[in-house]
Amino acid sequence: MLQPFFLLALAFVFCCCPGMADVGDFAPCLEFFYSSWPPKGLAGTPICQRYNNRYQFATLYSRPRRSPWFSAYMYSAPTGKRPSSTWKFEPQLAHPEANGNMIPFPPGPLDQNVVESQAVNPDYINSSYTRGHLNPSLHHHTHEGRSSTFTLTNVVPQKSGSNRGPWEDLEQTVNQTLAAYCLGPAYVVTGVIPYRSDEHWLKNHRVAVPEYMWSAYCCPKYNTGLPDHLKTHFPTFAAVGRNDPNSTEEIVPVNKTAKKQFRGYDVRAMPLETLEMYLKDRFNTVIQVFYEQCTTSD
């Protein structure tokens, strides 16, 4: 039986917030893509992530995997402390006629339509994986923008050695680099690479676990007085991170001297073209992350 809190939440979603469809089409939130051009080559369910009646970022979601293929957003320098992790869900994945504002998970039993349509908090409880943001709160200026990233439709199962190690370092590096040298909009897309075979899952085929995570940014307008070590990082930059210490080293080599808790979770920086080569190999189709490789004027 559903608890009164959840019934009231659903009533609010259906009755008090008449709204547009935010699931199924990127049209309302093309602003989060360079040249209003979403990445090409991946199939999934588009979500315009709406929080407090404002679009915050975009996600391509996989219903069968109950996890995202990628999230896309515009970087802005962060302020204040990291918000508390109040986890949310996407009501339109469960009920297409619902309002598109993400809402917090209620205490107690969940609507079964929500459970079947997307990941829920119990999927991560007592697992060996953390909730790994694709779009991190660190890359947003406002409290509202940072809070909006705490939705499970923006999260994949990520090992702690990655999430609190090399991948966190990458997020910090991207933050510092874009804040210091990007002079205009910076468009970021962060996604996952699945296992080639023998897919890994949480909780008996509930949520798919990625083998790798990847991220790329496009900053068309930047300070040309870059230090030497950053001259290859503009206008585009890409990286792939390991999420399995037992994966082969073909894509990302392992630093054998890394601290034990982080060993096998290395991140490798690379040109955008190299990332797209690995994506093509794994997905067996051409993947284009940014329009014209971010080489035209925005």
Q: Which residues contact 59 (CB under 8 A, 6 or more apart)?
A: 46, 47, 49, 68, 70, 71, 72, 134, 135, 153, 154
What does the pLDDT read at residue 6? Answer: 45
Chain segment 52-66, per-residue pLDDT in tens:
999 999 999 999 999
Domain limits for position 63: 4-294
**Distance separating alpha carbons of residues 206 and 295, to the nearest angstrom:** 40
Q: Which tokens is 231 given?
A: 């001259």
The stretches in the chain having pLDDT less than 50 are: 1-19, 298
Domain count, the chain: 1
Let me know if 101 is exposed, middle or buried by CB neighbors in 10 A (0-12, 13-18, 19+): buried
Q: Looking at the chain, how many residues does it have?
A: 298
Measured from the Cβ of residue 226, the count of other Cβ atoms closer than 10 Å reads 15
Q: CA of 119: how far to CAs of 201, 246, 274, in Å? A: 12, 25, 31
Residues in CB range of 220: below 8 A, 6 or more apart? 34, 184, 185, 235, 294, 296, 297, 298
- Kindly give, in sequence order, each residue whose CB lies less than 8 Å from that of residue 221, ignoring residues fewer than 6 positions away: 182, 183, 184, 185, 298
Note the pLDDT tens digit of each residue in 175-234: 999 999 999 999 999 999 999 988 899 988 999 999 999 999 999 999 999 999 999 999
DSSP string, 280-295: HHHHTS--B-SGGGG-
pTM of the predicted model as reported, rounded to 2 decimal places: 0.92
What is the H or E stretch that residue 55 is in?
A: strand 54-62
Report d(CA 210, CA 214) in Å as an integer: 10
Which residue, 223, 224, 219, 138, is CA-closest to 186?
219
Task: Please report, for the domain that includes residue 282, its CATH number.
Answer: 3.40.570.10
**What pLDDT score was predicted for residue 20?**
52
